[in-house]
Amino acid sequence: MRFGLIGYGAWGRHHAQAIAETDGLELTAIACRNAATAADARRDFPRARVSVNWKDVIADPTIDVVDIVLPNFLHAEVGCAALIAGKDVLLEKPMATTREDCDRLIRAARASGRVLSIAHELRLSTQWGRAKRLIDEGAIGTPLFVNVNLFRNFYRTGAEGWRYDRSRVGSWILEETIHFFDFALWYLEAHGDPLGIRAYGNRRPGRDEGMYDNFSALLRFPNNAYAAITQSIAGFEHHLIVEITGAEGAIRAAWSGAMDRDDQPRYDFRVQRKGFAFERGVRECEGEDIAISGEVYELTEQIRLTALGLRERRPLVTADEARKRVICCVEAERSIREDRCLQLHFGHAG
């Protein structure tokens, strides 16, 4: 299966390496932002065709899959063009920065008959994915509550500062907190779509609207289930905690590193299963040994499983799912701006 990669920034290089190291895949072409990154790509992957025009990649008849790793504001434009050109697409999260652009992508996928898969790679973590498997197995009974808390250092600027430019990033809720909305909807999916949201946020001096250093949201689901999501990028290092309580048990997972792409993180996974012989203060849960966790490792697995899914003509994460995560982010920002609770209406995709 021949991949064309569009985007060779810091995260794009990780994508390139993951493609090159996966059996049965070939990194055929790379589109870069400028001559300097193109020179890096030619040095790193001398067998790949390298261009500074993304349109060269989608026009290449030898390419089966286009992997798009670009600033958020370009996702819809480039994704739609790749689909219309007859390519299957792996598109980095967020799917797009607006509901309307999500719908454009869904229409393009339907019209072309190609597969559009959205890169929510944290689902493949030995921690966060393990939590979902336990929920699905009934290990904690019906899930009732999800709590996600991220405390981290400030963002990398991205090429030409795009991550700090409101018009290009969309918002910092879309940039990273979308992962945690994905967790909430994924873990609580037995209850159906969320019904409402109330969000709060503040910013350090000099930040644009939507660039919240500190952000919190409550997401309300049917059956009185709910999720609490808190993110601060005004902290230090990278510390993520996910807690899930069910009618008959609970899960707690934690990940810490010097930064988000730390290849030697500290991580922990604990579960109190249904029927556990609970002894307060003595034995309240069980720790599980899990394989190393972190987004670099999850990316490699995402590439492998995406290729497998494409061979079977199915996405790893559907565009309909990803669209709901974008809508949650957009409505969270509106909740802050209007200082009120909002009902969530997802409507018909596409």
Query: The pTM is what?
Result: 0.96
CATH 3.30.360.10 for domain 125-291+326-343, yes or no, is: yes
Partner residues linked to 270 by β-bridges: 252, 287
* Residue range(s) of every CATH 3.30.360.10 domain in the chain: 125-291+326-343
CB of 262 closer than 8 Å to CB of 181: no
What's the DSSP call for residue 232?
E
Q: In 3D, which of 34, 30, 44 has the Cα closest to residue 2?
A: 30
Phi-psi region of 266 (alpha: psi -120 to 50; beta: other; left: phi over 0): beta
For every residue of 34-73, DSSP letters joined together read SHHHHHHHHHH-TTSEEES-HHHHHH-TT--EEEE---GG
* Residue range(s) of every CATH 3.40.50.720 domain in the chain: 2-122+299-317
Q: Is the peptide bond before 94 cis (omega within 30 degrees of 0)?
A: yes
CB of 84 closer than 8 Å to CB of 104: no
Name the H helices within 113-154. 128-137
According to CATH, the superfamily of the domain at 2-122+299-317 is NAD(P)-binding Rossmann-like Domain (3.40.50.720)
Residue 222: what residue type? P
pLDDT of the chain, 350 residues: tens digit per residue = 999 999 999 999 999 999 999 999 999 999 999 999 999 999 999 999 999 999 999 999 999 999 999 999 999 999 999 999 999 999 999 999 999 999 999 999 999 999 999 999 999 888 999 999 999 999 999 999 999 999 999 999 999 999 999 999 999 999 999 999 999 999 999 999 999 999 999 999 999 988 999 999 999 999 999 999 999 999 999 999 999 999 999 999 999 999 998 889 999 999 999 999 999 999 999 999 988 887 777 889 999 999 999 999 999 999 999 999 999 999 999 999 999 999 999 998 88
